[in-house]
Chains A and B, each alone.
Chain A
Amino acid sequence: MNEAVFAHRIQFAFTVMFHYLFPILTMGLGFFIALFSTLHLLTKDKRYADAARFWAKIFAVNFALGVVTGIPLEFEFGTNWSRFSSFGGGVFGQTLPLEGVYAFFLESGFLGMFLAGEKRVGRTLHWISGLGVAAGSLLSGYFIVATNAWMQHPVGYEMDPSGAIHLKSFWAVLLNPYAIWQYAHTINGALLTAAFVIGGIGAFYLLSDRHREFGMLSVKTAVVAGVILSLTQLFPTGDLNGADVVRYQPVKLAAMEGLFDTVQGAPLAIVGMPDTDTGTLIDPIYIPDFLSFLAYGNFRATVAGLNSYSKDLWPPIELTYYCYHIMVGLGTLFIGQMLIGLFLLWRRKLYSSRWFLWTLMFAIPFPYIANEAGWLVSEVGRQPWLVYGLMRTPAGTSANVAAGETIFTLMGFAGIYAVLSILFLFLVARIINRGPQEDASARA
C-alpha cells in the first residue's frame, strides 16, 4: 500500500477511535438521565433527582470532549479524503450537516438548561430538557450512522456516463436499509456501555462504603438494564445487522469468520488464529454447521469462503477476524455477568456480594473495547472499498497532501489527545470523588 494512503487511514482511524470513546457514553447516558428525571417527576423521590444530576455532570465532561474531538473528523473528510468528498459529497453529504444543524444544537442547548438546574428553569422545563438531551444525542448518532451506512451500502444515487454520481433520492439515503440495524446495534452498544459505567461506579461506591443509597440504585439499574441490553445486543440488533452483512458484503462475513473454503454446512469458529498463507485456521474450535445456520437459517446452507473471491477484494483478514471475535466474546461474557447479577438481585444478595461488585467495577473498560472492536469490523472489513463497490480507498485520499504532512499532524494529534485523556480522567475522578450529593457550595 502506498505510504500516503496508509498515513491518511491511520490518521482517520486514530482520531475517530479516540473521538468515539466519548459519544459511546453520551448516547447511552442521555437515555438514563431522561429515565431518572422522569422517575423523579413521577415518584418525587429525591434519589432519582440526585442520580440524574450526577450523571449529567459525567455527561457534560464527555460531551465537551466529544465535541472538541469530533470537529477534526468533519474537517478530515476534506483535508484527508478530498477526492472522496468531491466524488460523493452531494450524496453522503446530505446527512452530515443535518447532524450539526438538527441534533447538535438540540443536545447542546438542552444540556445547558439541564445543568442550570431545576431551580433556575422550573420543574417541567428541566424534565423536558432531560428528554431533549437524550433525543439530541440519539438523533445525532443516527445522522452519523446513516452517513457511514452509505459507505457500507451506497443507495439513492445515479451515475452519469462520466462516472460522476448524483443524488437521486434523499429519503433513500436517509432511510438506507443498512443504516437501520447498524444504528440499532450501535445505540444498543452505547446503552449497554452506559449501563456498565453506571453499575461500575455504583459498585465502587458500595465497595468503598460511600453514598450507599446511590450505589444501590446504580447497581440495580445497571443489572436490570444490562440483562435486557446485553441480550438485545445479540438478538435482534446484532443478528440483523449481521444479516445485512451476509446480504450486502459476503467477503466481510468470510473474513469475520475466518472461513477460507466454500463449504456446505459451514462450521462456526469459536477460537483459532487465521493463517492467510495456507488459508486455514490454526488451533480452531468449531461448532459444526452453525455458521450456515446463523447466516442463512439453515444448517446445510452453503457459505462462500474467502478463496472464492479474488485476493484484491479481501479486507485485512486478521484484524477483521480478531475484532469480530473480541466483540462477540465480550458480548457473551456480558450476558453471563448480567444474568449472575440478576440472580443475585433476585436472591437479595446483590449489594452484599462483594466479589460480584468487584467484577462489575472492573468491567467498565470492556464495553468500550467491544464497541470499538465492532466498528473496526465494520470499517476494516469494508476494505478495500471506501464506498462499497463504488470507490476503492486509495482513490479517495487527498492527492495533494504528502504522507509527511499527515504523519506530522498525526503525531500532533497523538500528543494533544494524550493530554486530553489525562485531563478527562482527572475531571471524571473529581466528579466521582465529590459524589452525587448536592454540592451548591463546592463550585467556585
Chain B
Amino acid sequence: MNVTWFFMLGAMLTAYTVLDGYDLGVGSLSLWIAKNDDERRLALNSIGPVWNGNEVWLLAAGGMLVVSFPRVYAAGFSGFYLALMLVLWLLILRGVSIEFRNQSRDPLWRALWDAGFWFGSILLAFLLGVALGNVVRGLPIGSDGYFQGTFALLLNPYSLLTGILTVVVLAWHGANYLRVKTEGALFERAVRWSRTLWWITVAMVIVVTVATFVVLSGTPHTFRVYPVAWVIPFFILVGLVWGFLSRGADRSAAAFRSSVLLIVALMLTAALTVFPNLLPSTTNPQYSLNIYNAASSPHALRVSLIANALGMIAVAVYHTYVHRVFHGKVKLEEGHY
C-alpha cells in the first residue's frame, strides 16, 4: 500500500511535469520565439484552454501528499517555506499575466504581461528543478523530522544544475509543443529552437547524471538491489535519440512524444533514486522520511487511495477530452487571448 502510494504520487508529479511542463516551456521561450503581438497571442492561445487544468495536477498531488504522507508534507512545506512562498507569487503572477494580457490593446499593457508570463514561467521551472534536486540530494532533516531550508542551503551547486536542466528540458518540450500547435514563422522558429535546445538538453543530462553519482557517492540503493530498474534510465537515452531523429520539420508530433518520454523517464529515475525515501536526511540516514515512517495509518491510505484513484480516472478522461476538443493548429480568431 505504501509503495502504491509512492508511485501514485510519482505518477501525479510526472503527469504534472509533462502537462504543465510544456506551458512553462512555452512561457520560458515566449519572449524570444514569438516576436510580435500576433505570434504572442498564438503562443498563448496554444496553451490557453489547458494551462489552468494542467496546474491542478500539482495541487491535487499536494493534497494527496497531506493524506498519504503527512509528515513529508509537513516537513517539506515548512522547510521550504520561503521558496514555496516565492513559487506561490510566481504562480499568481503567471496566471494573472496570461488572463489579463488581452484586456487592453495598449502596447505597454501587453508588454508588461508578456514580461510577467516569461519571468513567471522560467523562474518557476527553475525553482521546481531546484526543489527536485534538493530532494534527490537530501536535506538536513533532524531527529524531530523537520529542517529549515534557507536559500543558502537550497541553492547548492547540485540543485542549481538540476534547476538549469529543468529549464532546458521544459523549454525543449515547449518548443516541441509549439511545433505541433503552430504554423508559419512561429513554427519555423520553434523548429530551430527545438534543434538547438536538443543539444543543450543532451549536455545537461550528461552533466546532471555525473553530478548525481558524485553527490550520492555511488549508485542509489534501488538500482543496486534491483538491477532491472536500470530499464527506466535507459529510456532517457531512448527519448534523446528519438528526439534527434525527429528534428526534421515534418516530424513535429514525434518530437513532442520524444520529449514526453524523456520527461517521464527523468522523473521516474528521480523517483527510483530516492525510493523508498521521500525526503532523505543528510544529517543521519535514520532521520530520513520514508514511505513507512512518514505514512498515514493503513486504513487512511487504503480509503484515500480508492477515493482519489477514482477521481483521477475521471480527471484523466476529462483532460483527454479537453485536449481533443482543442487539438490541431491554433488560429488567431478562435481564441480569447
> Do A and B share a complex?
yes
Contact of A86 among B49, B70, B303, B304 (CB under 8 A): B70
The answer to whether A89 and B67 touch (CB under 8 A), given A170-B307, A444-B105, is yes
Bound-state Cα–Cα, A427 to B109, Å? 14
For the residues of B in contact with A, the DSSP-based class is helix
Chain B interfacial residues counted at CB < 8 A: 55
Nearest residue, chain B, Cβ from A417 = B92
Q: Does A336 contact B (CB under 8 A)?
A: no
Are the C-beta atoms of A91 and B82 separated by less than 8 Å? Answer: no
Are the C-beta atoms of A101 and B308 separated by less than 8 Å? Answer: yes
Q: Does B74 contact A (CB under 8 A)?
A: yes
Are the C-beta atoms of B60 and A97 separated by less than 8 Å? Answer: yes
User: Interface digits, A198-218 against B, CB 8 Å rule (1 contact, 0 not)?
Assistant: 000000000000000000000
| Residues of A with C-beta under 8 A to B99 | 64
Binds B, one of A65-73, A188-196, A263-271, A286-294: A65-73
Are the C-beta atoms of A109 and B318 separated by less than 8 Å? Answer: yes
Are the C-beta atoms of A90 and B297 separated by less than 8 Å? Answer: yes
Q: Does A42 contact B (CB under 8 A)?
A: no
Bound-state Cα–Cα, A248 to B95, Å? 41
Q: Does B213 contact A (CB under 8 A)?
A: no
Chain A interfacial residues counted at CB < 8 A: 55
Contact of A71 among B88, B146, B322 (CB under 8 A): B88
Contact of A93 among B95, B103, B304, B336 (CB under 8 A): B304
Contact of B67 among A94, A409, A423 (CB under 8 A): A94
Inter-chain residue pair count (beta carbon < 8 A): 174
Are the C-beta atoms of B53 and A109 separated by less than 8 Å? Answer: yes
Are the C-beta atoms of A77 and B66 separated by less than 8 Å? Answer: yes
Are the C-beta atoms of B79 and A400 separated by less than 8 Å? Answer: yes
The answer to whether A166 and B297 touch (CB under 8 A), given A67-B95, A71-B88, A101-B63, is yes
For the residues of A in contact with B, the DSSP-based class is helix
Bound-state Cα–Cα, A108 to B59, Å? 14
Q: Does A443 contact B (CB under 8 A)?
A: yes
Are the C-beta atoms of A78 and B78 separated by less than 8 Å? Answer: yes
| Residues of B with C-beta under 8 A to A420 | 92, 96
Are the C-beta atoms of A96 and B74 separated by less than 8 Å? Answer: no
Bound-state Cα–Cα, A60 to B14, Å? 29
Are the C-beta atoms of A100 and B70 separated by less than 8 Å? Answer: no
Nearest residue, chain A, Cβ from B303 = A170
Are the C-beta atoms of B311 and A98 separated by less than 8 Å? Answer: yes
Bound-state Cα–Cα, A87 to B73, Å? 11
Nearest residue, chain B, Cβ from A69 = B92
Q: Does A412 contact B (CB under 8 A)?
A: yes
Q: List 6 A-B contacts (CB under 8 A).
A: A67-B52, A68-B91, A71-B59, A79-B84, A400-B79, A423-B96
